[in-house]
Amino acid sequence: MVGSWPRSPEVLRAQRRRHHGDISAEEFDHVADAAVIEALKHQESAGIDIVTDGEQRRDNFYSFVADKLDGVRLMSLAEMLDIVEDKAGFERILQTLDVPAYSIRNPTCVGIVSRREPLALNEYLFLRQHTDRPIKVPLPGPYLLTRAMWVKEATRAVYESKEALAEDVVGILRDEIRELREAGADFIQFDEPVLTELVFTQGQTRTFMCAALAARRDPAEELEFAVELINRVVAGSEGIRTGLHVCRGNWSQQEHTLLKGSYGPLVPYLARLNVTQLVLEFATPRAGELAALLDSDQIRKHKELGLGVVYPRTEGIEGVEAVVARVEEALKYLPPERIFLNPDCGFGTFSSRPMNTLEIASSKLETMTRAAVILRDRYAV
Ligand SMILES: [Zn+2]
């Protein structure tokens, strides 16, 4: 799993009611607990080895942090349009992309940022009570969080620069890793989808989240900044598997609005990240060829690959043999023990926009596990 699983109508209703203050956090958790157990059941019955909690408690993969951090406030797009200086640019983003504007609220930094409660430790502890399988905990990466939270017009009264805000973000994520590791979590994955936006839009503001109304610096500088932040977050995290997930956006089923291009331009940066695993999409043809990534010596010698083999956004179920063939292509570059099968992205990146029905999502997971059985039989050492 990359992370999210479709939310049920009950969870969506509970999320709305909680947002409006109609139910307490405890009442929400009661609904979400049941949903997490249900998401776990789907994964276990599909035969998934490393499970997640399906992000059932989160409205999306990054803005949930506003519930956990002091100094962060969720702002609607309308509120942001009020305060940003480049209103025309901001409106253009909303129009040209199929942004789920009705559902996105940006976690904006409006005060000194600190943890009121852990971001994901409690999610992990709950899931741990219900399964013996290894658990992956997805977290927003430090670059994404810094970009999302830094809205100059609201933030600069508190932090003098994006870099100053990033210091506190790095500290928060390091605390989270330490606590998750002590609690026995197996795998922490940082989501940094916005990295592709840097290379495929050449610094033009075409971001699929209001995150970072603008990365106005040169894309290469921004990528260096991202590498530095991620490496600082994972420094000293031996004993736990760490991963980085990068995709080209998963907010829409309208393919033409999503970014396209191989991982090639990101390779020099990905190769320098001190994470155990790169969790990447490859089922979509928009992600280009495996060779663009695996021609890199650094990546081939040192990284595990979370290989995207099924595509969360399509209704057709991939063939088991096609998945096997895809993995065999990766086996030309990597030993079997460093290849992990996963979907290209989550099945419900934004809670109100599931990518598929439960039935189709489950069938896609089953396709992966059936392929894994064949592959282990052929290649397990
Ligand atoms: Zn993704």
Between the CA of 250 and the centroid of ligand 1 the distance, in Å, is: 6
CA distance 119 to 68: 6
Residues 6 or more apart whose Cβ sits within 8 Å of residue 369: 46, 47, 48
For residue range 161-214, list pLDDT tens digits in order. 999 999 999 999 999 999 999 999 999 999 998 888 888 765 454 444 444 444
The model's confidence at residue 216, banded by pLDDT at 50, 70 and 90, is low
* Element spanning 115, H or E: strand 105-115
Between the CA of 305 and the centroid of ligand 1 the distance, in Å, is: 15
For residue range 133-171, list pLDDT tens digits in order. 999 999 999 999 999 899 889 999 999 999 999 999 999
Which residues, in sequence order, are bridge partners of residue 109?
A: 72
Between the CA of 3 and the centroid of ligand 1 the distance, in Å, is: 9
The model's confidence at residue 355, banded by pLDDT at 50, 70 and 90, is confident
Coil, strand or helix at 97: coil
Give the burial string for 57-91 (b: 16+ CB within 10 Å, else e).
Answer: bbbbbbbbbbbbbebbbbbebebbeeebeeeeebe
Between the CA of 364 and the centroid of ligand 1 the distance, in Å, is: 16
Between the CA of 41 and the centroid of ligand 1 the distance, in Å, is: 22
Q: Using a pLDDT cut of 70, give the percent of the chain over it.
A: 91
For residue range 109-128, list pLDDT tens digits in order. 999 999 999 999 999 999 99
Residue whose pair of structure tokens reads 């899931």 in the numeric block? 127
* Element spanning 111, H or E: strand 105-115
Between the CA of 138 and the centroid of ligand 1 the distance, in Å, is: 11
Between the CA of 349 and the centroid of ligand 1 the distance, in Å, is: 7
Coil, strand or helix at 199: helix
pLDDT computed for residue 345 by the predictor: 94
Between the CA of 343 and the centroid of ligand 1 the distance, in Å, is: 9
Q: Using a pLDDT cut of 90, give the percent of the chain over it.
A: 72
Q: If you ran DSSP here, which 8-state letter would residue 151 be given?
A: -
CA distance 130 to 329: 36
Between strands 304-310 and 339-343, the pairing is parallel
Between the CA of 286 and the centroid of ligand 1 the distance, in Å, is: 13
Between the CA of 208 and the centroid of ligand 1 the distance, in Å, is: 12
Tokens (6 digits) for 240: 């736990």
* Element spanning 246, H or E: strand 241-246
Q: Is 118 exposed, middle or buried (0-12, 13-18, 19+ CB in 10 A)?
A: middle
Between the CA of 4 and the centroid of ligand 1 the distance, in Å, is: 10
| Mean pLDDT over the full length of the chain | 90
Q: Nearest to residue 52, comparing CAs of 3, 117, 101?
A: 3
pLDDT computed for residue 210 by the predictor: 47
